A and B are shown apart, each in its own frame.
Chain A
Amino acid sequence: GAVVSQHPSWVICKSGTSVKIECRSLDFQATTMFWYRQFPKQSLMLMATSNEGSKATYEQGVEKDKFLINHASLTLSTLTVTSAHPEDSSFYICSAREGLRDSTFGSGTRLTVV
Chain B
Amino acid sequence: GENVEQHPSTLSVQEGDSAVIKCTYSDSASNYFPWYKQELGKGPQLIIDIRSNVGEKKDQRIAVTLNKTAKHFSLHITETQPEDSAVYFCAASYSSGDKLTFGTGTRLAVRP
Evaluate whether A93 and B43 lie within 8 angstroms (CB atoms) in the complex, with A43-B102, A43-B105, A44-B102 already known: yes
Q: Out of A46, A100, A106, which one reaches B97, CB within 8 Å?
A: A100
Q: How far is the CB of B13 from chain A (nearest CB, A)?
A: 20
Evaluate contact between B41 and A102: CB separation under 8 angstroms.
Answer: no
Evaluate contact between A93 and B44: CB separation under 8 angstroms.
Answer: yes
Tell me whether chain B's interface is mostly helix, strand or loop, or mixed.
loop
Bin the interface of chain B by size.
Answer: 20 to 34
Evaluate contact between A6 and B43: CB separation under 8 angstroms.
Answer: yes
Evaluate contact between A106 and B43: CB separation under 8 angstroms.
Answer: yes
Evaluate contact between A102 and B97: CB separation under 8 angstroms.
Answer: yes
1/0 per position for A28-56, CB-CB distance to B under 8 A? 00001010000001111110010000000
Closest to B90 in A: A43
Asked if A80 CB lies within 8 Å of chain B CBs, one says no
Evaluate contact between B96 and A102: CB separation under 8 angstroms.
Answer: yes
- Chain B positions within 8 Å of A, measured between CB atoms, are 36, 41-46, 49, 89, 95-105
- Chain A positions within 8 Å of B, measured between CB atoms, are 6, 32, 34, 41-46, 49, 93, 95, 97, 99-103, 105-108, 110
